[in-house]
Structure formats: structure tokens, C-alpha cells
Copies of this chain bind each other. A is one copy, B any other.
């Protein structure tokens, strides 16, 4: 058999348990998870810190877990989900850890700096795009597992935290948005709380 099955040549495709149009919101969602995973892979080529690199590898597997949980047609949804609440809790501990390493900010920062930080900001915004699609899927078909929603919401904050770390590790200072107000109320010393 070949990798190209030609089955999708005329606009429909298969998910687990059935066939749908390619612009079906569920296909959109597994597609954006795949896109996000690819950007994560790209950002990883810029990340030098080994601890960070291995966390991102874990996250790539977890993005596949998210995709799996979203690949089933309605009738097959009595599955054993792969995404667990513990995965989000782990992300929270990592956010706390990395946040405590960067200088406090009060205002929005320009997404950029080093190649690693800039790529991670791209991942952050693609995560948020994925989140928006998930919200659409929930509205249209329902049945989106809450652990997946929570995971993605936390993941964009995680990318924000580590984008700042990536700059910090290369002694690059984040530039604040000049015409903004003070918007952030978080403290950077969560670890000691």
C-alpha cells in the first residue's frame, strides 16, 4: 500500500468511526492540533535549554493525545480519553517554575526577542487559535472533553512563560508595549507562595 490513498481526493475524509467533509469543524480541529504540533517542533529547533527542550517533547506527545481525543465521531465517544486533569496540573507546576525565573512585568510585551522566544510566541498564538476552534466545535457538536479545553488554555500561558525564559536565558530584555496601561496583576514569586 502507498502513503497516498487518494481517498480524500474529492473533498471528504475519514475520522475514527465515519466519513465527513474536509471542512467539517472536527477535521479543522485535528488539523489545527497538527499545525500547533508542527510549530512546536519548529520552535524546539531554536530552544537550547535541555530541560525546556524535553518538556516540549512531552508536550508534542500530549498534543497528539489531544488530537486523539478529538478524532472520534459522536457515536464512538465512549472512549477512554488520553488527556487527564493531571496533565494540566503538571503544566501549572511548570508555569510556576518558569515564571519565578523572569523579571516581573506590568504591561504587555512585544512578542519577539531571540529566535527561540519569537518562535514560542508564535506557538502561543497558534495554541490560542486552536482554543478558539475547540470552542466552535463545542458549540456546533458538543462533547469536547473539558480536560482538553483546560489543557489548551493553560498551554498558551505556558508558552508565554517560557518565551520570556528563552529571552532571559540569552540576556534579552522583553520590550514593553509603550502605549499600554498596566494590565498584569500576577506576581512572579509563585514558587514561594
Contacts and interface: CB of A to CB of B under 8 A. Distances in A.
B42 A122 contact: yes
A111 B117 CA distance: 19
A21 B99 contact: no
A61 B28 contact: no
Contact of A131 (B22, B125, B157): B22
Given A41-B121, A112-B44, A150 B9 contact: yes
Contacts of A115: 42, 45
Interface in A145-193: 146, 149-150, 153-154, 157, 160-161, 175, 177-180, 184-187, 190
Copies of this chain: 3
A123 to B, nearest CB: 9
A145 B50 CA distance: 46
Q: Is the interface of A mostly helix, strand, loop or mixed?
A: helix
A96 B23 CA distance: 28
Contacts of A65: 179
Contacts of A132: 22-23, 27-28, 31
Given A11-B135, A23-B139, A31-B128, 11 more contacts: A2-B96, A3-B186, A4-B92, A4-B154, A11-B134, A11-B138, A35-B126, A35-B129, A40-B111, A42-B122, A45-B114
